[in-house]
Amino acid sequence: MNVTATGDAPTNALFAVETEYAGRCARLALRGELDLATVAILDDELRMVWQRDLRRIEVDLRGLSFVGSSGIAALLELNARSQRVGVALTLVRGPAQVQRIFELTGIESQFQFRDGSARPDERQTRGGPLGIVS
């Protein structure tokens, strides 16, 4: 499912979420700026994700150019809910400016990160659909 918030022109997208499902796994690829103006799009997509019986969720941050406090709050809530219901959550490390916000806020250790040197479908999978690994 593709969800996009756009500016004046379709080529000027502010934020997009691309969600893939395989079995009991979901992978959300985030693109653009995740902030107060766009976080509702992620929240809406996560509501649909939570309607499924999942074991794993992976959120790919590589396509983000910016994460504001509202985006961090949404990711913290996703992490807390995942822990409460026993769903494994992994974040794919984003660009330096995105990772820096996790470091500056002191919350990096609250998340399970993996490096995203290759797209999951381009690497050897060890344990599940979508290339999501433990």
Count other C-beta atoms under 10 Å from residue 25's C-beta.
Answer: 20
CB 28 within 8 A of CB 71: no
The domain tally of the chain equals 1
**Among the listed residues 106, 86, 97, 114, the one whose alpha carbon sits nearest the alpha carbon of residue 27:** 114
Give the CATH number, domain containing residue 120: 3.30.750.24
% pLDDT > 90, the chain: 76
The DSSP code sequence of 102-116 is HHHTT-GGGS-EE--
12 falls in which pLDDT band (50, 70, 90)? very low
pLDDT at 129 over 50: no
Six-digit token string for 33: 């700026």
**Per-residue pLDDT for 34 more than 80?**
yes
Instruction: Show the domain range for 97.
Output: 2-131
